[in-house]
Amino acid sequence: MRPILWLVLFISIVSCESSTRISSIENKSLKVKGNEISSKSEIESFLNPYRKELARKMNDTLAYSEQELTKKKIESTLGNWVADGMLWYTKIKLNKEADIAIYNSGGLRIKSIPSGPILLKHIFELMPFENEMVIIDIDSNDFKIILERIAEKGGWPVSKGFHLQLSLDNKILDWSINGTRKLYYKVIVSDYIATGGDGMNNLINKPRTSLNVLIRDVLISYAKDQKKLTANIEGRIVKDKVNADE
């Protein structure tokens, strides 16, 4: 008896506020002889309808942008938009308390989102991983460690109301959230950062609340709510003209 090759396809994507995940699986068996599939054309004819459906869904329009949102250091329109979306969703959609949202630059997987129609595929390209949002509860010392990592990396996306002033050699000169500092903070991050990713080992054992929502879904919801994407360079992170020891 010739062996059977089972093709498992993850096809249908559900786009809604609760989750934008793969929602259905379809199995199809094809006969193989040795290591050769009996008919390559049979595979192609099987895959093509699903490719077309996937392409159609990925080209759904979520919103519009008059400007290109770009990823840059030390502050960027794309980074600001992502961090603001995380804070907005947590406060408005989930009714959760938080002081700030922070995302690592490496987690933004494309350099820009173009002006014009904002498509579902743009958000998937920006956030291809299944990272979820988490609120960590930390004191000012641990928050300072996060700031030092942001400074070391030459800037990470941070939400509105935050101000960090750095020297030319990326040393912290001043910082505040909405003009103040506190002893304790509720910080929105990805589960990747909360579990020590990108050098944030000090966060591994900190108290946290999982929000059970993909950051990708958060941004899809944010884009739909905004309708017209807006993001500006606001001086959230700035670099001084002198070194810290001068």
Q: Where are the domains of the chain?
A: 4-58, 62-239
Indicate the length of the chain as a whole number.
246
Helix (H, G, I), strand (E, B) or coil at 68: coil
User: Does the pLDDT value for residue 7 go beyond 50?
Assistant: no
**Separation between Cα atoms, residue 216 and residue 111, nearest integer Å:** 16
pLDDT at 20: 55
Confidence of residue 3 (pLDDT cuts 50, 70, 90): very low
Look over the chain and give the mean of its residue pLDDT values, rounded to a whole number.
85
Instruction: Say how far residue 154 (Cα) sits from the centre of its chain.
Output: 18
pLDDT value, residue 70: 96
Q: What is the CATH number of domain 62-239?
A: 3.90.780.10
Q: Which two tokens stand for residue 171?
A: 């040393």
How many of the other CB atoms lie within 10 Å of CB of 6?
Answer: 8
User: Which pair of structure tokens corresponds to residue 164?
Assistant: 């960090």
- Taking alpha carbons only, the member of 99, 211, 84, 219 closest to residue 147 is 99
Model pLDDT, residue 42:
67
- Comparing C-alpha atoms, which of 182, 192, 189 is closest to residue 129? 192
Residue 173: is its pLDDT beyond 50?
A: yes
Residue 143: Cβ-neighbour burial (10 angstroms; 0-12, 13-18, 19+):
buried
Q: What is the pLDDT of residues 11-53, one digit of tens each?
A: 444 444 445 554 444 445 444 455 554 556 766 676 677 777 7
> What's the average model confidence in pLDDT over 123-134?
94
In the predicted model, is pLDDT for residue 1 greater than 50?
no
Q: Which of 122, 127, 136 is nearest to 229 (CA)?
A: 122
Report the pLDDT value the prediction gives residue 120, as an integer from 0 to 100.
94
Q: How is 85-114 classified by DSSP, letter by letter?
A: HHHHIIIIIS----SEEB--GGG--SSEE-
**Residue spans of beta strands (DSSP E) within the chain:** 4-10, 25-33, 36-37, 61-65, 69-70, 100-101, 112-113, 116-119, 132-139, 162-166, 172-177, 184-190, 208-214, 228-229, 237-239
The values of phi and psi at residue 240, to 5°, are: -70, 170
What pLDDT shows up at residue 40?
A: 63
Nearest-angstrom CA–CA distance, 236 and 246: 23
